[in-house]
Amino acid sequence: MHVLFVHPAYPAQFGHVARRLTEDRGYTCTFVSEESSGNEGPIHRIPYRPTGGDSSPRRYLTQDFDEEVSHAEGVFEALKPLRDSLRPDLIVGHAGWGGALFLPELFPGTPVIDYVEYYSHPHGSAIDFRPEWPASEATVLRHRLQNAAVLLNLEQCTAAYTPTRFQHRLLPDRYRSKVRVIYDGIDTEFWRRSMDLAGPEGGTRFVTYVSRGLEAMRGFDVFMQVARVVGNTLPDVVFLVVGSDDVIYGHELELVEEATFKEHVLASGGFDLERIRFLGWLPPERLVQVFDMSDLHIYLTVPFVVSWSLLNAMACGCTILASDTEPVREIVRDGTDGLLRGFSDVEALAETAIAVLQDPLAYRDLGRAAERKIRRRYSLDVTVPKLASLFEEVASGRT
């Protein structure tokens, strides 16, 4: 079977799945992205360029949809010369990016599966979970329009899938039966701990924090407050912070004077920056080494998409201290394979962190249980067969 994957980035949510499908099941997989062309192993890659360019004017309220249309048009133009030679049996695209939106015009009758990552809600959601960071009126209005491409894709696709029950619950009732819950999968052969979990009895303790961007939606400011308390209590703790200085998802830069949210948080002072190491963005091969060193991994998020970093840290056997928010509760069970505390409860988070760091060996079983859970429920060995079953069912017209 020939599957055409569409996503602006590679590998993103599809690359590791495509590799497994080609290697284990003999699929032919083509990947359309903004990245370079050519082959990566068995996967043939085709580049596209969004239309309009970065300098094209976009109205703030509709800029997300404008961008999604530019991706859809770019993919369409890149594949138009190949319409007679490519001949996919199935198209799999990311609904939120909109890249596959126009492909039924090129490949009529070819079924389409959409990956639905997030359906935005302007109220009672990630946008207003933190009242100390209120969204502007324009941002609220923009989020009312943010689902345009998702809705168009849901309307025209043959079937869809989303990674978690939390993400599924956010969808409109009329589409939920069309969308299955299948996690995209963790490569547990890569994300695994190479050092003995038992660790040394004494010495420096390492606390890890990982986020794509150091921002409010991922609780960077809360983490830093926790780090300040823990650092003042325990002199032998070093904090390893991974993530860019960019705000990826939030709107807090509308409310601060500093150029980055990181600068705003650090301006409050009282941090021992000799013991807080900002490592920036790290490639996977270096990030797994950070998890290898972790005595405690702190993960915070508002009710939003759960980061891969949480599941990667769990796969590496890290002791997890995470925010007690709905998407996290689906992954982590408090006291069984991690520890959950209130998102904004700095006192409880710090108190728990100190307890773990004073006796990491006493909490190692939580990390071992987390690793087992990822292998049992979220590894590629578990998720790829489920995705293959969905792909084959849809491609054969049995949906």
Question: What does the alpha-carbon distance between residue 7 and residue 321 come to, in Å, rounded to a whole number?
Answer: 32
Residue of 50, 182, 33 lying closest to 113 (CA atoms): 182
**pLDDT for the residue 144:** 87
List, by residue range, all CATH 3.40.50.2000 domains of the chain.
2-185+379-395, 205-378
**pLDDT for the residue 224:** 98
**pLDDT for the residue 283:** 96
**pLDDT for the residue 296:** 98
**pLDDT for the residue 165:** 98
Confidence band (pLDDT; 50, 70, 90) for 59? confident
Question: What does the alpha-carbon distance between residue 311 and residue 328 come to, in Å, rounded to a whole number?
Answer: 10
Mean of the pLDDT values across residues 11-31? 93
Question: What does the alpha-carbon distance between residue 181 and residue 163 come to, in Å, rounded to a whole number?
Answer: 5
Q: Could you identify the residue written with the tokens 């071992």?
A: 368
CB count in 10 Å sphere of residue 337: 21
pLDDT in tens, 78-131: 999 999 999 999 999 999 999 999 999 999 999 999 999 999 998 999 999 999
Q: What CATH number has the domain spanning 205-378?
A: 3.40.50.2000
**pLDDT for the residue 38:** 65
Residue of 368, 315, 353 lying closest to 199 (CA atoms): 368
Question: What does the alpha-carbon distance between residue 231 and residue 271 come to, in Å, rounded to a whole number?
Answer: 8
CATH class name, domain 2-185+379-395: alpha beta
> What are the DSSP calls for 108-170, one per residue?
TT--EEEE------SSSSTTTS-TTSPPPHHHHHHHHHTTHHHHHHHHH-SEEEES-HHHHHT
Question: What does the alpha-carbon distance between residue 381 and residue 185 come to, in Å, rounded to a whole number?
Answer: 8
Q: Helix or strand or coil: residue 43?
A: strand
**pLDDT for the residue 108:** 95
**pLDDT for the residue 56:** 53
Which pTM does this prediction carry?
0.93
- Per DSSP, helices labelled H in 234-296 are 261-266, 284-293
> What are the DSSP calls for 82-102, one per residue?
GTTT---SEEEEETTTTTTTT
**pLDDT for the residue 180:** 98
Task: List beta partners, residue 276.
Answer: 239
Q: Could you identify the residue written with the tokens 């960071």?
A: 133
Mean of the pLDDT values across residues 331-338? 98
pLDDT in tens, 165-219: 999 999 999 999 999 999 999 999 999 998 765 445 568 999 999 999 999 999 9
Q: Is the pLDDT of residue 3 over 80?
A: yes
**pLDDT for the residue 39:** 72
